[in-house]
Structure 1
Amino acid sequence: MGAPAVFLAVALATLLAPASGAPVRQQASRNKLLLVSFDGFRWNYDQDVDTPNLDAMALDGVKARYMTPAFITLTSPCHFTLVTGKYVENHGVVHNMFYNTSSKVKWPYHTTLGIQKWWDNGSLPIWITAQRQGLKTGSFFYPGGNVTYQGEAVTLSRKEGILHNFKDEAEWRANIDTVMTWFTDEGLDLVTLYFGEPDSTGHRYGPESQERKEIVMQVDRTVGYLRDSIRKSGLESSLNLLILSDHGMTTVNKTASDLVEFHKFSNFSFKDIEFELLDYGPNGMLLPKEGMLEKVYEALKDAHPRLHVYKKEFFPKSFHYANHSRITPLLMYSDPGYVIHGRVNVQFNNGEHGFDNEVMDMKTIFRAVGPSFKKGLEVEPFESVHVYELMCKLLGIVPEANDGLLSTLLPILQET
Structure 2
Amino acid sequence: MKRRYLTLLILGLYLAVFQNHANAQTDTIEHVAAGRKNNASQLKKPYVILISADGFRYDYARKYQAAHLLALSDQGVQAESMIPSYPSVTFPNHYSIVTGLYPSHHGLVNNSFLDEQSGERYSMGAKAKVRDGKWYGGTPLWVLAEQQKMVSASMFWVGSEAEIKGLRPTYYYDYTEKISVDKRISIVKNWLSLPEETRPHLITFYLSEPDHAGHSFGPEAKQTELAVKMVDSVINQLTKAIEPLHLPVNFVFVSDHGMTAVDRENPIATPKAIDTTKYIIASSGTLMDVHAKNKTDILPLYEKLKAEQKDYKVYLKTNMPPNFHYSTKDDRMGRIGDVLLIPEWPKVFSNRKPGIGHHGFDPLSVKDMHATFFAWGPAFKKQIKIPSFENVNVYPMIATILGLPIQEQIDGKAEVLDQILN
Same fold, TM-score > 0.5, yes or no:
yes
Aligned residue identity for 1:377: I
Q: Which residue of structure 2 aligns with residue 283 of structure 1? A: 287
2:389 is equivalent to residue 382 of structure 1: yes
SS in 2 for 1:287: strand
Q: Which residue of structure 2 aligns with residue 203 of structure 1? A: 215
Conserved? CA contact 1:68–1:357, under 8 Å: yes
> Which of 257, 270, 281 is 1:247 aligned to?
257
CA RMSD of aligned residues (A): 2.0
Report the Cα distance in structure 1 between the residues aligned to 2:319 and 2:59, rounded to whole angstroms.
Answer: 33
Report the Cα distance in structure 2 between the residues aligned to 1:369 and 1:269, rounded to whole angstroms.
Answer: 50
1:375-413 deviation per Cα after TM superposition (whole angstroms, max 9, x unaligned)? 111111111111101000000010132111111111111
> Which of 283, 304, 314 is 1:299 aligned to?
304
1:163-201 deviation per Cα after TM superposition (whole angstroms, max 9, x unaligned)? x36xx8xx1222122112112214011011111111111
Q: Which residue of structure 2 aligns with residue 8 of structure 1? A: none
Q: Which residue of structure 1 aligns with residue 99 of structure 2? A: 84
Conserved? CA contact 1:272–1:292, under 8 Å: no
Alignment of 1:11-410 (within 5 A): 26=41, 28-101=43-116, 105-111=120-126, 112-119=129-136, 121=137, 123-161=138-176, 164=177, 171-185=180-194, 186-235=198-247, 238-256=248-266, 259-263=267-271, 265=272, 268-271=273-276, 273-279=278-284, 281-290=285-294, 291-322=296-327, 323-324=330-331, 325-341=334-350, 344-345=351-352, 348-358=354-364, 359-399=366-406, 400-410=408-418
Aligned residue identity for 1:99: L
Distance 1:214 1:275, change over 3 A: same
Conserved? CA contact 1:288–1:296, under 8 Å: no
Conserved? CA contact 2:317–2:326, under 8 Å: no
SS in 1 for 2:125: helix
Q: Structure 1 residue 100: deviation in Å? A: 3.7
Q: Which residue of structure 2 aligns with residue 11 of structure 1? A: none
SS in 2 for 1:179: helix
Stretches of structure 1 that go unaligned for 5 or more consecutive residues are 1-23
SS in 1 for 2:308: coil
Report the Cα distance in structure 2 between the residues aligned to 1:118 and 1:302, rounded to whole angstroms.
Answer: 36
Distance 1:156 1:95, change over 3 A: same
Q: Structure 1 residue 141: deviation in Å? A: 1.4
Conserved? CA contact 1:25–1:135, under 8 Å: no
Q: Structure 1 residue 27: deviation in Å? A: 5.3
Q: Which residue of structure 1 aligns with residue 16 of structure 2? A: none
Q: Structure 1 residue 106: deviation in Å? A: 3.6
Query: So what's the TM-score if we normalise by structure 1?
Result: 0.85
Report the Cα distance in structure 1 between the residues aligned to 2:107 and 2:215, rounded to whole angstroms.
Answer: 25
Report sequence identity in percent. Answer: 30
Report the Cα distance in structure 1 between the residues aligned to 2:411 and 2:124, rounded to whole angstroms.
Answer: 26
Conserved? CA contact 1:62–1:367, under 8 Å: yes
Q: Which residue of structure 1 aligns with residue 33 of structure 2? A: none
Report the Cα distance in structure 2 between the residues aligned to 1:132 and 1:224, rounded to whole angstroms.
Answer: 32
SS in 2 for 1:286: strand
* Corresponding pairs, count: 373
SS in 2 for 1:378: strand
Report the Cα distance in structure 2 between the residues aligned to 1:269 and 1:58, rounded to whole angstroms.
Answer: 48
Stretches of structure 2 that go unaligned for 5 or more consecutive residues are 1-38
Report the Cα distance in structure 2 between the residues aligned to 1:224 and 1:74, rounded to whole angstroms.
Answer: 27
Aligned residue identity for 1:355: F
SS in 1 for 2:279: strand
1:339-369 deviation per Cα after TM superposition (whole angstroms, max 9, x unaligned)? 212xx43x63210111002120000110111
2:421 is equivalent to residue 413 of structure 1: yes
Q: Structure 1 residue 271: deviation in Å? A: 4.5
SS in 2 for 1:192: strand
Larger CA deviation: 81-90 vs 281-290:
281-290
Report the Cα distance in structure 2 between the residues aligned to 1:128 and 1:143, rounded to whole angstroms.
Answer: 13
Q: Structure 1 residue 150: deviation in Å? A: 2.1
Q: Structure 1 residue 321: deviation in Å? A: 1.9
Report the Cα distance in structure 1 between the residues aligned to 2:405 and 2:64, rounded to whole angstroms.
Answer: 40
Report the Cα distance in structure 1 between the residues aligned to 2:185 and 2:87, rounded to whole angstroms.
Answer: 29
Query: So what's the TM-score if we normalise by structure 2?
Result: 0.84
Report the Cα distance in structure 1 between the residues aligned to 2:82 and 2:95, rounded to whole angstroms.
Answer: 15
SS in 2 for 1:33: strand
Distance 1:29 1:286, change over 3 A: same
Report the Cα distance in structure 1 between the residues aligned to 2:403 and 2:395, rounded to whole angstroms.
Answer: 12
Q: Structure 1 residue 68: deviation in Å? A: 0.6
